[in-house]
Chains A and B, each alone.
Chain A
Amino acid sequence: SQQGEEDPQALSIQEGENATMNCSYKTSINNLQWYRQNSGRGLVHLILIRSNEREKHSGRLRVTLDTSKKSSSLLITASRAADTASYFCATDGWEGQGAQKLVFGQGTRLTINP
């Protein structure tokens, strides 16, 4: 399985600081996605970055992808209390019969302290 692994497992910072989370994976991918989950709720998509892209921005979010190192990072700038959530990376690739599988890591629990 080409599961993504997030690092750190938990992160606690002060409001206004930047938060960086990392994701590593094992095999070649088509794209890598980041999701956010508020406690017990469904995941919400944040950013999708394709294997031929190196960096992508969306508001206060910045995602980088290094396919040579099989790693990605999610940066949240100027954090807010409302950013408190769990963040997951998900990778997909093609199985032998051309079937798509999206595999999630275990997530980083981010806490923003006021």
Chain B
Amino acid sequence: EAQVTQNPRYLITVTGKKLTVTCSQNMNHEYMSWYRQDPGLGLRQIYYSMNVEVTDKGDVPEGYKVSRKEKRNFPLILESPSPNQTSLYFCASSFLNEKLFFGSGTQLSVL
């Protein structure tokens, strides 16, 4: 089944404790992206990747890191999480200029 798999679904952590949210797709998509969704602010792009080893900043990249060592994986790393990073996070992938497939989301709470 074609899908984007995000883990974990829920995560509660404390300020400053490094964490990684994983994202994997099985559709051979070139394009992958991370979004955060906050009430009243819609979806805002954090980082995106056009292909392996090609990543670029979205609109809200501060406090986040990504890597794209393999085509299927695009992990999101929070080196030192802060409470303002509490949010609902989505990973998505697509062929270039085509529709996005979204993961189920990760609800992150930073205490």
Binding site for B on A (CB under 8 A): 1, 30-31, 33, 35, 40-45, 48, 88, 90, 92, 99-107
Interface of B is mostly: strand
> Which residues of B line the A interface, CB within 8 A?
4, 31, 33, 35, 40-45, 48, 50, 56, 58-59, 88, 90, 92, 96-105, 107
Residues in chain A near residue B50, CB distance under 8 A: 99-100
Tell me whether A100 and B102 are in contact in the complex, defined as CB-CB below 8 angstroms, given that A43-B90, A88-B42, A107-B42 are known contacts.
Answer: no
Q: Verify B45–A103 contact, CB threshold 8 A.
A: yes
Assess whether A48 is in contact with B98, with CB atoms less than 8 Å apart. Answer: yes
A41-B104, A43-B102 known; A100-B97 Cβ under 8 A: yes
Roughly how many angstroms separate A41 CA and B97 CA in the complex, as a whole number? 23
